[in-house]
Amino acid sequence: MPAWAAPARGPVPEPFTWLSVVLRVVGVPAMALLWWALAFLSWQRAGLPSMPESWPPALPVLFTDLEVTVFGPLGASLVVVVLLRRGRLSFLSVLLGFLVSALVTLTRGADTYGGVLNTTERQIMLGGCAVAAFAGLAIGAVATGSRQRFGFLGLLAVFPVVSLIEVLLVGPGADRSWLTRSALVVLLVMIAWRRWSGVLLWPIFFALFWLLTLVMSALGHGAQTLRHPMGSRASVGPLNDAMLGFVRSTWRVFLGTSWDVFWPAAVIAVLVIAGLYVWRRTGQVST
């Protein structure tokens, strides 16, 4: 019987091993903690620099933190998927991280600065965080399909990863451009890993990097209009106007700063790709 005519077989279950049990019992909580740290540790450290109760994992509940609520969980979930490479474990890790931090947030009853929470505002922010987190899982599943896709979609994880390294190893206020460049080098090499012609896609990568930084900053700027002095009303109209005005006035500035970060990373990535090409050619000749 030809292979194409053979009956389809279902997925073969993995055999039981103690390693798989340890991975579920220990790995899922560890990755849940990593997910929260990537998404929100730098934000929480910035909001509560001196309060001893700042250590429990919490989520943003103010409209002014909309940028963190969207891009933090998005990039953190992508990192979890890439590290675990298993859909169910990634889902459980993100779900556990979100549920625990959401429970802590709900039981506190106050925002980062001690103010009384607005119920509607809190619900919208928690819902937005959940949507961003599970959207990151879907993007991560796509990114793991190939190195080139990971190179482009991994841009969403650059800022959470850089922020976490800055908090844990470098310290606040330090120059983080070298961390960002290092992350960009990895992604650029991934794009051109199989074929050097992938270098031709780097201008698209730069455009996406510039747009991402611009959108993140515009959302952070526009979100300030959503928080009224009484904290009880918000409107989407002022948010759109503020974001559009910010983009019109600063897109050239962000284009320049993005280029200043990108071009050294591109030079290093070219050297790495050239070294890989020479090494592969040398290996072919020797064999």
* Domain layout of the chain by residue ranges: 18-286
- Both tokens assigned to 255: 């284009």
Nearest Cα residue to 78 out of 12, 34, 18: 34
For residue 109, the model assigns a pLDDT of 58
Distance, in Å, from the CA atom of 160 to the CA atom of 164, rounded to the nearest integer, reads 6
Quote the pLDDT of residue 110.
Answer: 53
Q: Are 206 and 258 in contact (CB under 8 A)?
A: yes
pLDDT at 116: 54
- Residue 80 tokens read as 């979890």
At residue 208, the pLDDT reads 96
Q: Which residues contact 90 (CB under 8 A, 6 or more apart)?
A: 31, 77, 80, 81, 84, 137, 140
User: What's the pLDDT score for residue 3?
Assistant: 42
Given this model, what pLDDT does residue 51 score?
Answer: 40
Provide the whole-model pTM.
0.82
What's residue 233's pLDDT? 53
Give residue 235's pLDDT: 61
CA-wise closest residue to 76 among 31, 44, 39: 39
Spatial CB neighbours of 56, under 8 Å, sequence gap ≥ 6? 104
pLDDT of res. 8: 43
Where the chain has pLDDT below 70, the residues are 1-23, 47-56, 109-117, 172-174, 227-237, 283-287
pLDDT at 198: 84
Per-residue buried b or exposed e for 236-260, using 16+ beta carbons within 10 Å of the residue's own CB: eeebeebbeebbeeeeeebbeebee
Judge contact between 93 and 25, C-beta under 8 A: no
Residue among 175, 134, 142, 110 at smallest CA distance from 39: 134
Q: Under a CB-based contact definition with an 8 Å cutoff, are residues 277 and 197 in contact?
A: no
Query: What pLDDT, on a 0 to 100 scale, did the predictor assign at position 63?
Result: 84
